[in-house]
């Protein structure tokens, strides 16, 4: 009997020590309809206007981006409660080759703005992600979508 109690106690402590945050969950695309068979959406209050306003200062001040043309995608992971978890970045030139704009300085500024975005809502009980895409043209941020 004592052995069983010790074994159960050890198992209990091991299971409690492996705390998992909501950010560690599996991530599903915000536009995917596969979660629980229901359509869902992850969005930010104000949608595109909110995102464009958040990046407005960088768009105005970054006027000599090198290389001059390409694309940046930020993939923001949002937990099931609508809180920011993490992000991934992708930078490519017009030939779809990996690059770094302004020697990696631009992406750091963009990541900071993206991580500060508030007001996310998530219609699911699953961690999702949201994509923010920026087009660089003639050394400036041309589009944010």
Tell me: the pLDDT tens digits for 43-74?
A: 777 678 889 999 999 999 999 999 999 999 99
The 3-class secondary structure across the chain, one letter per residue, is CHHHHHHHHHHHHHHHHCCCCHHHCCEEECCCCCHHHCCCCEEECCHHHHHHHHCHHHHHHCCCCCCCCEEEEEEEEECCCCCEEEEEEEEECCCCCECCHHHHHHHHHHHHHHHCCCCEEECCCCEEEEEEEEEEECCEEEEEC
Query: Within a domain: residue 113?
Result: yes
Q: Which domain does 138 fall in, by range?
A: 21-144
Q: What is the pLDDT of residues 16-39, one digit of tens each?
A: 544 556 787 666 655 555 545 555
Position 27 in a domain: yes
Domain-embedded: residue 9: no
Q: How many CB atoms lie within 10 A of CB 129?
A: 20
pLDDT of residue 39: 53
Query: Is 60 a member of any domain?
Result: yes
Share of the chain above pLDDT 70, in %: 72
User: How confident is the model over 108-134, as a mean pLDDT?
Assistant: 90
Query: Among 38, 26, 11, which residue's Cα sits nearest to residue 129?
Result: 26
For residue 11, tell me if it sits in a domain. Answer: no
Residue 2 within any structural domain of the chain: no
Any domain includes 72: yes
Query: In this model, does residue 122 exceed pLDDT 90?
Result: no
**Residue-level pLDDT at 137:** 98
124 or 101: which leads in pLDDT: 101
The number of distinct structural domains making up the chain is 1
In 3D space, the residue among 89, 78, 143, 81 whose CA is nearest the CA of residue 117 turns out to be 78
Residue closest to 27 by CA, chosen among 118, 117, 131, 114: 131
Within 13 Å of residue 38, how many CA atoms lie on the same side as its CB?
8
Query: Is residue 131 a part of any domain in this protein?
Result: yes
């Amino acid at each position: 009997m004592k052995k069983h109690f010790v074994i159960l106690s050890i198992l209990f402590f091991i299971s409690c020590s492996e705390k998992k945050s909501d950010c560690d969950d599996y991530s599903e695309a915000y536009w995917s309809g596969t979660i629980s068979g229901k359509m869902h959406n992850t969005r930010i209050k104000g949608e595109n206007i909110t995102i464009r306003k958040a990046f407005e200062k960088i768009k105005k001040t970054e006027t000599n981006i090198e290389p001059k043309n390409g694309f940046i995608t930020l993939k923001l992971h949002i937990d099931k409660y609508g809180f920011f978890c993490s992000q991934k970045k992708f930078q490519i030139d017009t030939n779809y080759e990996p690059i770094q704009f302004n020697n990696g300085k631009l992406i750091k500024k963009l990541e900071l703005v993206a991580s500060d975005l508030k007001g996310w809502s998530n219609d699911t009980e699953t961690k999702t992600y949201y994509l923010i895409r920026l087009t660089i043209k003639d050394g400036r941020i041309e589009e944010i979508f």
